[in-house]
């Protein structure tokens, strides 16, 4: 029995990938269920209107149609999208009024999907069309169309607000005050797998449900509340899930309708969302208009920050309306800012609801900070990297509670910035930029720098974990988190293998099933490794401690002398005094072989409570080329130095960095959800919604610094959203920087060729 080196810190290939690559993994739409019925929704074609009539008689008599449901047929109360917003509840099928294009009005249930589609086309819904509003700022105007009357939130269309006391002398000590209005545009999540659900009946009269979700327990509880069932009557299973990005963390109205149909019909019922449906019915992200002012001394020291945010909650405001709270929480960022005035209002519009989208409120905070810092650098004539360095919070200031109430655990912001600048060759890039400008090149160079800190596991500090060794020596771990592509199987197997000295191949992860995992908060907020992984770590430690006590008893040794390795446990330095984990598990089931007072079995379950969030950080440098003749932008380099604390598996970390960077770049250069003046979506499919492929992106230069957190035994912070938060402002700044010599200081995202061409033309006209 040899002692083994730590597996932590090694790039271990993902256990999940063979099934995903070969097609053995099964998604919701792959499930074959005997006698399953298909659901198709008739959706609103107007953004705002009163339903005057629904004629579904022809649909009811069409081949294969089993049921046609309107809201009156279901008897389900409106469902609040977020606990703080009950007054804005959404009926699962529209009741009396529609508030956005794509809202479900009628549900058709038929033997086949084709039959349901045919029947849906036969339904005629008449509307008395009402004025619509799709711009959050316009929705605040006194004469704006009324999406919602005053629901006790402070006025028409208002659904959430943060109104601190005004600081009148905020900039009295400032030599310079810079101002900007920034649009953090609405985005679609566009996961590879659309929404989907299959509802079947079990032999106890309850429901067994497969659904593409990030949080099976939350969906179970949401469905139970809507349907009037006890949670134990519903078992929710998330099979393979093709991405979520925050948009699959809730209980969608369509889920409730499908589950209710299954109850009413006594048959299994399915719904598989199309891509066009997904673009208008799955929650969107971002959607903020930001007014920002920053006061500074001439030497670059920041005196104060004032922010006013107008957030778009959509037609049925949900958690997206609350996200300005997170933007406020992170408004200090990585900088020494002595005073901050932050106010926000979220409003309803005749658009798809907004919710969490990779970063959920935190990217918006970093974006506004980095943009205003760049404007300040121009005003003060200080290099943007240098202005950042002068204001970074020093490493010896941690732990630190910020002006906005965030409890930063640990950080070394200067180290990350210096590393990113060194890797990028910042001085050389600036020299090349100057050379191109002096030659009058039409393809100019832009360099963008961002520094950021984000919050992970915010408000979700507790998670369930379990560990058990079976008689075959195999280890089963359970987690209340729910993977949808992150690599949990690999990461959690590494943890149990490290503690128990077994092979990763001997560790099985059980997750994403409310029938097998008693509780769990799911996967969101970059929390899984630090919270769920720590729960498995602690449970594995409990199992190891019990195993040592039992082995010491059997071998008549001191527990401190018991070691593990190579799948065995025994006395250090005595090869003959050892046994396999399977043999020890069998012994643990024999009461006659146990020490007095020891319970049978090698198993433990617990809830790990971290007690607070952690705060990853980093710096990014983006390098772009802009063709002044066409406005075309090419991202030629992207350097990311992200610090997520201790890296257990650098390969998994790099994968998250790469995916996050891609989404951040996409927001700057490509993506935007758009509506016309009547509320009709203009980006309702991937012909119109511009999402980049790998061909539009460079190979990233992603690396890390490591500043372990003391908040959990792994020393780990989250990494799932960091790439998105750091990349967006870096690329945005790079594009604007490329045009700075023309007098251009800001262009709103997405920074498209058309916008760049217009800005350069305007600059030339201005002389």
Written as one string, the DSSP assignment of 278-323 is: HHHHS-EEEEEEEEEEEEE-TTS-EEEEEEEEEEEEESS-BHHHHT
CATH number of the CATH domain containing 541: 3.30.365.10
Using alpha carbons, list the distances in angstroms from residue 317 to 97, 108, 311, 382, 448: 16, 26, 10, 42, 35
Indicate if 640 and 694 belong to the same structural domain: yes
Give the Cα separation of 422 and 415 in Å (integer): 11
Q: What is the pLDDT of residues 489-533, one digit of tens each?
A: 999 999 999 999 999 999 999 999 999 999 999 999 999 999 999
136 is a domain residue: no
Measured in degrees and rounded to the nearest 5, phi and psi for residue 74 equal -95, -35
Residue whose C-alpha is closest to residue 160's, from 320, 352, 284, 340: 320
Q: Is residue 714 part of a domain?
A: yes
**pLDDT score of 87:** 85
pLDDT of 4: 63
Q: How is residue 240 annotated by DSSP?
A: S
**pLDDT tens for residues 102-123?**
999 999 999 999 999 999 999 9
- Considering just the CA atoms, what is the radius of gyration of the chain in Å? 28
Q: What is the pLDDT of residues 227-247, one digit of tens each?
A: 999 999 999 999 999 999 999
Q: In this structure, what token pair is assigned to residue 466?
A: 């379990």
Q: Which residues contact 3 (CB under 8 A, 6 or more apart)?
A: 563, 565
Does residue 374 lie within any of the structural domains?
Answer: no
Q: Degrees (nearest 5) of the Cα angle 136, 157, 94? A: 100
Per-residue pLDDT at 227? 97
Token duo for residue 454: 């984000």
Query: Is 519 found in the same domain as 471?
Result: yes
Q: Are residues 544 and 605 in the same domain?
A: yes
CB 606 within 8 A of CB 465: yes
Q: Are 666 and 692 in contact (CB under 8 A)?
A: yes
From 262, 281, 300, give the residue that closes a domain: 281
pLDDT greater than 80 at residue 281: yes
- From CA 253, how far away is CA 268, in angstroms rounded? 18
Residues 443 and 474 in one domain: no
Domain annotation covers residue 301:
no
80 pLDDT band, cuts 50/70/90, is confident
139 in Cβ contact with 348 (< 8 Å): yes
Work out the average pLDDT over 569-592.
95
Cβ neighbours of 633 (radius 10 Å) = 24
Looking at the structure, tell me whether residues 505 and 555 fall in a common domain: yes
Whether 590 and 623 map to the same domain: the answer is no
pTM here?
Answer: 0.96
Question: In sequence order, what are the beta bridge partners of 283?
Answer: none
Indicate whether 596 belongs to any domain: yes
For residue 568, what are its two tokens?
């065995």
Q: Is residue 550 domain-shared with residue 674, that is, in the same domain?
A: no
Residue whose C-alpha is closest to residue 1's, from 583, 721, 610: 583
What does the block give as tokens for 135?
């711009």
Angle among Cα 192, 197, 200 to the nearest 5 degrees reads 150
626 and 753 co-located in one domain: yes
For residue 103, the enclosing domain spans 31-130+192-243+248-281
Q: 625: which strand partners?
A: 445, 634
Q: What is the 3-state secondary structure (H, E, C) of 514-550?
A: CCCCCCCCCCCCCCHHHHHHHHHHHHHHHHHHHHHHH
Do residues 639 and 701 lie in contact, with contact meaning Cβ atoms separated by under 8 Å? yes
Extract the tokens encoding 610.
Answer: 């971290």
Give the model confidence (pLDDT) of 37-73 as tens digits.
Answer: 999 999 999 999 999 999 999 999 999 999 999 999 9
What is the number of structural domains in the chain? Answer: 3
HSE-CB for 729 with a 13 A CA cutoff:
28
User: Is pLDDT at 208 greater than 60 in this prediction?
Assistant: yes
- Give the single-character DSSP code of 742: G
Check whether residue 605 and residue 636 sit in a common domain: no
Of 76-85, 709-718, 752-761, the range with the lowest mean pLDDT is 76-85
Q: For residue 2, what pLDDT is reported?
A: 52
Structural domain includes residue 45: yes
The residue out of 609, 631, 649 marking a domain boundary is 609
Count of Cβ atoms closer than 10 Å to residue 409 Cβ: 22
Gap between the Cα atoms of 623 and 638, Å rounded = 6
In this structure, the number of other CB atoms found within 10 A of the CB of residue 64 comes to 17
Domain membership of residue 85 (yes or no) is: yes
- What is the rounded CA–CA span in Å between residue 239 and residue 512? 7
pLDDT more than 90, % of the chain: 96
Is residue 627 helix, strand or coil?
A: strand
Q: What residues contact residue 157 under an 8 Å CB cut-off, 6+ apart?
A: 133, 139, 140, 144, 146, 147, 148, 347, 348, 349
Query: Are 20 and 240 in contact, with CB atoms under 8 Å apart?
Result: yes
* Domain end point (choices 588, 609, 630): 609
Residue 604 has pLDDT above 80, yes or no: yes
Residue-wise pLDDT for 401-430, tens only, equals 999 999 999 999 999 999 999 999 999 999
pLDDT recorded at residue 203: 86
Residue 332 placed within a domain: no
Q: Give the pLDDT of residue 500.
A: 98
Asked whether residue 56 falls in the same domain as residue 69, the answer is yes
Dihedral angle at the C-alpha atoms of 297, 302, 303, 307, nearest 10 degrees? 130
Same-domain check for residues 660 and 557: no
For the chain, the distance separating the N- and C-terminal CA atoms, rounded to the nearest angstrom, is: 79
Q: How far apart are CA 33 and CA 210, in angstroms?
A: 11
The one-character DSSP state at 81 is B
CATH code, domain with 225: 3.90.1170.50
Alpha helix ranges (H) inside 589-669: 650-669
Residue 40 and residue 124 in one domain: yes
């Amino acid at each position: 029995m040899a002692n083994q080196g730590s597996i932590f810190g090694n790039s271990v290939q993902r256990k999940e990938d063979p099934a995903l690559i070969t097609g053995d993994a099964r998604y919701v739409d792959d499930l074959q269920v005997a006698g399953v019925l298909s659901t198709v929704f008739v959706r609103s074609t107007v953004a705002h209107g009163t339903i005057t009539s629904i004629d579904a008689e022809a649909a009811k008599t069409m081949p294969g149609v089993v049921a046609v449901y309107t809201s009156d047929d279901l008897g389900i109360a409106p469902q609040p999208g977020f606990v703080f917003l009950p007054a804005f509840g959404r009926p699962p099928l529209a009741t009396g009024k529609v508030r956005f294009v794509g809202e479900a009005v009628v549900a058709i249930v038929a033997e086949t999907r084709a039959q349901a589609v045919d029947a849906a086309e036969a339904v005629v819904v008449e509307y008395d069309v009402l004025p619509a509003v799709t711009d959050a700022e316009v929705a605040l105007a006194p004469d704006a169309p009324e999406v919602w009357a005053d629901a006790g939130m402070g006025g028409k269309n208002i659904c959430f607000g943060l109104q601190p006391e005004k600081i009148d002398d905020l900039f009295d000590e400032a030599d310079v005050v810079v101002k900007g209005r920034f649009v953090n545009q609405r985005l679609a999540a566009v996961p590879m797998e659309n929404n989907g659900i299959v509802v079947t009946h079990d032999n106890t009269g309850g429901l067994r449900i497969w659904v593409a979700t990030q949080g099976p327990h939350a969906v179970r509880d949401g469905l139970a509340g809507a349907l009037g069932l006890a949670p134990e009557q519903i078992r929710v299973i998330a099979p393979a899930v093709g991405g979520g990005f925050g948009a699959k963390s809730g209980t969608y109205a369509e889920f409730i309708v499908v589950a209710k149909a299954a109850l009413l019909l006594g048959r299994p019922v399915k719904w598989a969302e199309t891509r066009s449906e997904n673009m208008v019915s799955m929650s969107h992200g971002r959607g903020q208009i930001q007014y920002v002012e920053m006061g500074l001394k001439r030497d670059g020291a920041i005196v104060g920050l004032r922010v006013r945010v107008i957030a778009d909650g959509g037609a049925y405001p949900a958690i997206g309306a609350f996200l300005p709270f997170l933007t406020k929480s992170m408004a200090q960022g990585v900088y020494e800012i002595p005073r901050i005035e932050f106010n926000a209002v979220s409003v309803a519009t005749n658009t798809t609801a907004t919710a969490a989208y990779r970063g959920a409120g935190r990217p918006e905070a970093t974006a506004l900070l980095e943009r205003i810092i760049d404007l300040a650098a121009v005003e003060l004539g200080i290099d943007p990297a240098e202005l950042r360095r002068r204001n970074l919070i020093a490493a010896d200031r941690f732990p630190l509670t910020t002006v906005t109430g965030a409890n930063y655990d640990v950080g070394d912001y200067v180290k990350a910035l210096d590393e990113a600048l060194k890797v990028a060759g910042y001085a050389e890039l600036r020299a090349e930029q100057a050379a191109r400008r002096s030659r009058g090149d039409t393809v100019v160079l832009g360099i963008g720098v961002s520094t950021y800190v984000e919050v992970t596991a915010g408000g979700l500090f507790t998670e369930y974990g379990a560990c058990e060794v079976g008689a075959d020596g195999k280890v089963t771990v359970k987690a209340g988190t729910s993977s949808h592509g992150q690599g949990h199987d690999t990461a959690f197997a590494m943890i149990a293998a490290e503690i128990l000295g077994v092979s990763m191949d001997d560790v099985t992860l059980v997750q994403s099933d409310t029938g097998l995992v008693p509780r769990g908060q799911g996967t969101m907020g970059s929390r899984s490794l630090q919270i769920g992984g720590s729960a498995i770590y602690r449970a594995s430690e409990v199992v190891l401690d019990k195993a040592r006590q039992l082995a010491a008893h059997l071998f008549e040794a001191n527990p401190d002398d018991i070691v593990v390795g190579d799948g065995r446990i025994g006395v250090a330095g005595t090869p003959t005094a050892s046994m396999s984990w399977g043999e020890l598990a069998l012994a643990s089931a024999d009461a006659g072989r146990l020490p007095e007072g020891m319970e049978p079995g090698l198993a433990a379950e617990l809830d790990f409570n971290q007690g607070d969030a952690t705060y990853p950080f980093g710096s990014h440098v983006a390098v772009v080329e802009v063709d002044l003749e066409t406005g075309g932008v090419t991202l030629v380099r992207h350097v990311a130095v992200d610090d997520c604390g201790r890296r257990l598996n650098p390969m998994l970390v790099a994968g998250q960095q790469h995916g996050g960077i891609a989404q951040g770049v996409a927001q700057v250069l490509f993506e935007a959800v758009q509506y016309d003046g009547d509320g009709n979506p203009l980006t309702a499919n991937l012909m119109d919604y511009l999402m980049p492929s790998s061909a539009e992106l460079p190979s990233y230069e992603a690396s890390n610094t490591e500043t372990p957190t003391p908040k959990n035994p792994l020393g780990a912070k989250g990494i799932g959203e960091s790439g998105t938060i750091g990349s967006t402002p870096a690329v945005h700044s790079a594009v604007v920087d490329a045009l700075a010599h023309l007098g251009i200081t800001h262009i709103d995202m997405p920074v498209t060729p058309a916008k760049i061409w217009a800005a350069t033309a305007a600059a030339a006209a201005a002389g």
